[in-house]
Amino acid sequence: MAAAKGDTKVAVFDCEEDVAVALAKYIADLSDKCAKEKGVFSVVLSGGSLIDTMRKLVEQPFVDTIDWSKWHVVWLDERVVRKNDSESNYKLAYDGFFCKVQIPPNNIYAINDELPAPEDAADDYEACLKTLVEKGIIELSKASGFPKFDLMLVGMGPDGHVASLFPRHPLLQERNRWVTYIKDSPKPPPERITFTFPVINSSANIALVLTGPELAHAVHIALGNQQTSSDLLPVQMVSPEGKLTWFLDQAAASKIKAT
């Protein structure tokens, strides 16, 4: 089942396996388009279950047909821990994805784990992004002036948080920084860096990849017919310049009321 509204598409699949297959085709098609048109494909990854749902990309036919040399990968958010820490989004992506594909190591931009202070890590990562802009790897949005990534792959927590932007947190209102930091994350570990909403919403394409019954309530609030709270969930603030696609399984979509 798929519903489209403007540049937003909501696609509901029978099960997580079907989501994984559809996501792989979606990513592969965008990769091919960007590689041919621009010579680069800038991808933003998040943590959680996303890397597992991307698993079909490391299988045939995708693994041998995608031009991995064109990929440039950054993180939507990251925990301020060592890269080999079990909490690291980099480690999650490396173990489940990078070690199985041929993305050049120099095209994978992890945070500097030699910087233990989250404010320093955020400053350093923002500087990294600005260098990628100077090199022409990432474009700036003509509308916002913030970096415009080709594809941002976004998950969500049961509380509706995206990246490390949590409900009712002051960082939801950050409008100047590209990358900022949080020291009091309600979900451990407490110290993280994160993209801000101006960067998220400057994207050419965003895929919200949400599976599992624990997400059904937040999905219902975001996409259902009734608003149950005056406070917007962070996921409801995702509104890119380009195209937004929701990838849902039946479990995550189970509380959406039919229109």
- Between CA 189 and CA 81 the distance in angstroms is 9
Residue 5 has what pLDDT? 47
Cβ of 134: how many Cβ atoms within 10 Å? 9
Residue 203 near residue 239 (C-beta atoms within 8 A): no
Domains of the chain: 6-231+245-253 (3.40.50.1360)
Cβ of 73: how many Cβ atoms within 10 Å? 18
Q: What is the pLDDT along the chain (259 residues), one digit of tens a residue?
A: 454 445 899 999 999 999 999 999 999 999 999 999 999 999 999 999 999 999 999 999 999 999 999 999 999 999 999 999 999 999 999 999 999 999 999 999 999 999 999 999 999 999 999 999 999 999 999 999 999 999 999 999 999 999 999 999 999 999 999 999 999 999 999 999 999 999 999 999 999 999 999 999 999 999 975 555 557 899 999 999 999 999 999 999 999 865 4
Residue 259 has what pLDDT? 42
- Between CA 100 and CA 83 the distance in angstroms is 18
126 φ/ψ angles, rounded to the nearest 5 degrees: -65, -40
Residue 224 has what pLDDT? 78
Structure tokens at 164: 């490390």
Give the pairing of strands 41-45 and 8-13.
unpaired
Name 248's bridge partners: 12, 210
Residue 4 has what pLDDT? 45
Residue 171 near residue 195 (C-beta atoms within 8 A): no
- Between CA 247 and CA 93 the distance in angstroms is 20
Cβ of 117: how many Cβ atoms within 10 Å? 12
Give ∠ CA 197-199-201 in degrees, rounded to 5.
65
182 to 9, 124, 153, 190: CA distances (angstroms): 31, 15, 21, 7
Structure tokens at 185: 């994350």
Tokens 């479990």 map to which residue?
251
* Beta strand ranges found along the chain (DSSP E): 2-5, 8-13, 41-45, 71-75, 77-79, 139-140, 147-148, 151-154, 179-182, 192-195, 205-210, 243-249
